[in-house]
Amino acid sequence: MATIKRFEDVRGWQLAKELAKKVYSVTAEGRFSRDFALRDQIRGAAGSIMHNIAEGFEAGSDKEFIRFLRYSLRSAAEVQSQIYLAFELKYFEQKDFDSISSSLAEIKSNLHGFIAYLVRSSKNHAFREEASTYLVVSEDDL
């Protein structure tokens, strides 16, 4: 039986937190730091990835959690689009673009996999809350 006790245990959240730190770092320098609209937009979208995972975790049902994970995917797509613009405006170097792109790909893959798992498990399992711990339990355990 797999147990995730806190949203901080969700691998997608951990990856999103690292991405947000990268985004804040590259947007704090040079011309990017002075493009307030794009800087604030990409920072907000990067933060939304992790924040939606946390919020969804606390939603109390797998259906709601999945909904928030999908919001996280949308925010990841927003960051991905924004880094193309920022890169073409020469706000950061290729290595930063590659690092952020790689992080986004890993996050999106992880979230897609987690959503698929929750969808599958919701057909065969219950997602219940016990003492602030989410447990994935089989129907036989109910």
112 residue type, one letter: H
Q: Which of 3-7, 19-23, 42-46, 65-69 has the lowest mean pLDDT?
A: 3-7
- What secondary structure letter does DSSP report for 92? S
pLDDT of residue 136: 44
pLDDT tens sequence across 23-57: 999 999 999 999 999 999 999 999 999 999 999 99
User: Is the pLDDT assigned to residue 132 strictly greater than 50?
Assistant: no
Domain boundaries, the chain: 3-141
pLDDT of residue 4: 84
pLDDT of residue 135: 43
Would the pTM count as exceeding 0.85? no
pLDDT of residue 38: 98
Q: At 76, list the tokens.
A: 């990841």
pLDDT tens sequence across 82-96: 999 999 999 999 999
User: Is the pLDDT assigned to residue 137 strictly greater than 70?
Assistant: no
Q: Where are the beta strands (DSSP E) in 1-142?
A: 3-4, 125-130, 133-138
Q: Give the burial class of 22: count Cβ atoms within 10 A of its Cβ; 0-12 exposed, 13-18 middle, 19 or more buried.
A: middle
Q: Is CATH 1.20.1440.60 the classification given to domain 3-141?
A: yes
Q: What are the C-alpha distances in Å from 69 to residues 43, 91, 107?
A: 18, 29, 11
CA atoms of 23 and 83, how far apart (whole Å): 9
